[in-house]
Amino acid sequence: MVQLASEAVSPTRAVRLIILDRDGVINHDSEQFIKSPDEWRAIPGSLEAIARLNHAGYRVVVATNQSGIGRGLFDMAMLNAIHEKMHRALAHVGARVDAIFYCPHTADARCECRKPRPGMLIEIGKRFNVELTGVPCIGDSLRDLVSADAVGGQPMLVLTGKGEKTLREGNFPKNTVIFPDLAFAVSALLAGE
């Protein structure tokens, strides 16, 4: 599933793309899921980091598992309301995401779009007409890193959300780069250009 926030991408235009997980990267996560706009709270510095990516010419795409839909914890209208709050908060700091791709299924569904499977990222590559090799993919859980690695992206772990636990458990792709949070990851990415 996808929510596009901007115009289609021309295949002739070079696209600088970055893929972000949502919960635990952009906003605080919860073991009980983020089920309403009231529960969505930005991690300090994350929205401004996205603004910096926008100003540097990146297309910012969110790829998020949202199994709360499949579990019946919230519906599509509520997911849209949560994303509307995120879009408003981003706009307030001069930032935007170009699209939100999400998987509404539970792990039992064994779909191709639920991370750690690469289906959602493959679809992002197709929609934006971008080869995903080397594309930065920032997440806080092993499934984010594994899906990034599966498509040849650059896995980047942030220690917010489930990141500390992911770091402790290890077993993530060898080429994973680790940062305290999204703001640090973006600073390092932009400094390396």
**What is the distance between the terminal CA atoms of the chain, rounded to a whole angstrom?**
32
> 47 to each of 27, 93, 94, 192, how far by Cα in Å?
9, 7, 9, 21
Element (H, E) at 17: strand 16-20
Asked about 149 being catalytic, the answer comes back as no
Letter string b/e over residues 36-51, b meaning 16 or more CB atoms within 10 A of that residue's CB: eeeebebbebbbbbbb
Helices marked H in the chain? 46-55, 67-70, 76-92, 119-127, 142-150, 163-169, 182-191
Q: What angle do CA 143, 168, 19 make, to 5 degrees?
A: 35
161 CB neighbour count, 10 Å cutoff: 24
Asked about 21 being catalytic, the answer comes back as yes
Catalytic residues: 21, 23
